Amino acid sequence: MSSGSGQAPEPELKGPTTMLRLLQLVKYENLLAGVSGGVVSTLMLHPLDLVKIRFAVSDGLKMRPKYNGIMHCISCIWKHDGIRGLYQGVTPNVWGAGLSWGFYFFFYNAIKAYKQDGRPTQLSATQHLISAAEAGAVTLCITNPIWVTKTRLVLQYDAGVDPSKRQYKGMFHALLKIYKNEGIRGLYKGFVPGLFGTSHGALQFMAYEELKKDFCKYKNVAADAKLNSIEYITMAALSKVFAVSATYPYQVIRARLQDQHTQYSGVMNAIWRTWRNEGVHGFYKGVVPNVLKVTPACCITFLVYENVSQFLFDFQQS
């Protein structure tokens, strides 16, 4: 791992000059590759994401469906709502995941390039962490309304069997209805824990970059050398498990704040009520389906991203 003392100083931030420099460094190949990875992984694994959210908001205080485990939950949804039930909320999930991964890679690589300022030197772990956090914060500002609509659609328990019971007919109807009834504030529910959640992406990208860097040193190849699929998958899985273990509770609080069935006065109220009623266990509800979903999703996303970006850059140079 690189030490900070060996790094050249980062370029000084100078407002508009900084933004102009960042815009010069953005590469749309990173955006397209990130979108591709996010869309493919989401379409493959959305049912597990739905299960995770239903467990996360299961506070024991409301008349909600009760599930004994992951397979029981999937079985109940399948019997009650069919395949459509397992894919409730998939549209905003595809939009959200595609745009989130696309913008994340887009901004992250631009910020990294800005900090390197044309130098061949590699960034330190701390610099990777800060770059990823900055990219995550910008991305969340753009995508939070989409995540709110996804949560609302996923928590329509009778949407498959009786369309008349649907509060929201789809992603765009949900966006308009939330804005009409709750204003901008409604579209940005869960933003604060989501902002804290940028630490998740930051830790994941830091771990991924450091694993790649150390592995390339071990193999005695260039830091940007193309690796094989198994190597990308292994590093993506390890970095994701590390990040999930460190930051999962914020996802529970975020989902509860976005849930239309329960009202909280704010982040601290949601934290207090979860702790009072459910203890530590409440902050980790849904963690198993989450790990089962996000680990392969991360592996698929990073594998698709690395290969698509390599193809686009090679195509551009040919």
Residue ranges per domain, the chain? 30-317
H-helix or E-strand containing 157?
Answer: none
Q: What pLDDT, on the 0 to 100 scale, is given for residue 30?
A: 87
Q: What pLDDT, on the 0 to 100 scale, is given for residue 13?
A: 47
Does the pTM surpass 0.85? The reply is no
Q: What pLDDT, on the 0 to 100 scale, is given for residue 163?
A: 60
Domain 30-317 of CATH type 3.10.129.10: no
Contacts of range 259-266, beta carbons closer than 8 Å, 24 or more positions apart: 259/57, 259/151, 259/152, 259/155, 260/152, 260/155, 260/167, 261/57, 261/62, 261/64, 261/155, 262/57, 262/59, 262/61, 262/62
d(CA 159, CA 141): 29
Q: What pLDDT, on the 0 to 100 scale, is given for residue 159?
A: 56
DSSP string over 46-92: HHHHHHHHHHHT--SSS-----SSHHHHHHHHHHHHHHHHHTTTHHH
Degrees to nearest 5, angle at CA 60 with 53 and 143: 25
Q: What pLDDT, on the 0 to 100 scale, is given for residue 211?
A: 93
What is the per-residue pLDDT across 273-297, written as a single tens digit (0 to 9) for each? 999 989 988 888 888 877 887 888 8
d(CA 303, CA 273): 40
Low-confidence ranges of the chain (pLDDT < 70): 1-26, 59-63, 118-121, 158-165
Q: What pLDDT, on the 0 to 100 scale, is given for residue 63?
A: 62
The answer to whether residues 34 and 96 touch, using CB atoms and an 8 Å cutoff, is no
Q: What pLDDT, on the 0 to 100 scale, is given for residue 8?
A: 46
Task: Locate 113 and state its tokens.
Answer: 């390039």
